[in-house]
Amino acid sequence: MRLVLGSASPRRKDLLKELGFDFRVLTAEADESFDPQQSPEEIVLAICRKKMDAIWPQIEPDERLICADTIVYLDGKVLGKPQHKAAAIQMLQQLSGKTHEVYTGVLIKDEQGEHQLVDCTTVRFQDLRLEDILHYIEHHNALDKAGAYGIQDWIGQIGVIEIRGSYTNVMGLPTQRLYPFLKNLMA
């Protein structure tokens, strides 16, 4: 059974490669809108489902598709990918000095069926200075990340003061849970 990663995320690609799996990458445009009344777990799985539905027609019978989605959840609101720099600045100001959750949903599908998992990591930022936020926005690609930050980036190194849960989950793929899950499926 060959693996297919249904994601344009370079971080997900690198993480899956580091786990030692051979795979190919397929992407497709998918609507990432969601019902704000849904729980964070329901939201990430619903967006995964849209990605999976868009990519599934390209999958061969001997392949297994993996799709994932990550959101930042602060005070009952989802912080997705910012559309422009001003939105990224606003998101980082909202996260400054606060604790938030990062949810990643993963769907795995093959001809035999479908499996899902959701992971949650709690992250706390120290108070961020506006000049540091502006530096990050100007020198790093904050627009392609949920919550406008990458924990592995400069802002994570200077701003994150506490993390409870999976570090790689915050990057977009809960490898500690995914690895044994995939190994078990491939056995």
- Residues annotated as catalytic are 69
Q: Which stretches of the chain are DSSP H helices?
A: 10-18, 40-55, 85-95, 130-139, 154-159, 167-171, 175-186
- Contacts of residue 78, defined as CB under 8 A and 6 or more positions apart, other chains included, come to 34, 36, 40, 43, 71, 72
Torsion of CA 119, 143, 126, 134, to 10 degrees: 170
Which residue pairs, CB below 8 angstroms and at least 24 apart, start in 6-10?
A: 6/51, 6/52, 6/55, 6/65, 6/66, 6/67, 7/51, 7/66, 7/67, 7/68, 7/172, 9/68, 9/144, 9/172
Instruction: Give the residue among 83, 102, 105, 117 at the shortest CA–CA distance from 150.
Output: 102
Instruction: Dig out the tokens for 41 from the structure.
Output: 């777990």
